[in-house]
Amino acid sequence: MHQYERTIMAFDEAGNEYFIDIFSSVKNISTLHHEGAVKNGLSTFKTREGHAVNHLGGGDFSVWVQGEEDAVRVKTTDSEFA
């Protein structure tokens, strides 16, 4: 199950703004002793328009826009990724 976590802003070299939504896979690990326990898994990234996003490391991401040959490289200054 994927759960929305938060949104970050990133910019390409031309200054265009991209909203990247972060989703975490969540696994229910409830037992009789720990009701409601969950475990967060890997994060996935998509733009608001639904384009696939890869995290390249640090604050760098690549956005795959349909119809474009190459991915657009964007950067965020969000403290979680800096």
Mean pLDDT in consecutive groups of 10 residues from the start of the chain, 82 residues: 86 97 76 58 90 97 91 96 82
Distances (CA, A) of 60 to 3, 4, 42: 23, 20, 17
pLDDT of residue 32: 52
Task: Report the distance separating Cα 21 and Cα 5, nearest Å.
Answer: 8
Non-local CB neighbours of 35 within 8 Å, separated by 6+ positions: none
pTM score of the predicted model? 0.79
**Cβ count near 21 (within 10 Å):** 16
pLDDT of 31 reads 61
Tokens of 38: 């969950």
Token reading at 55:
């995290």
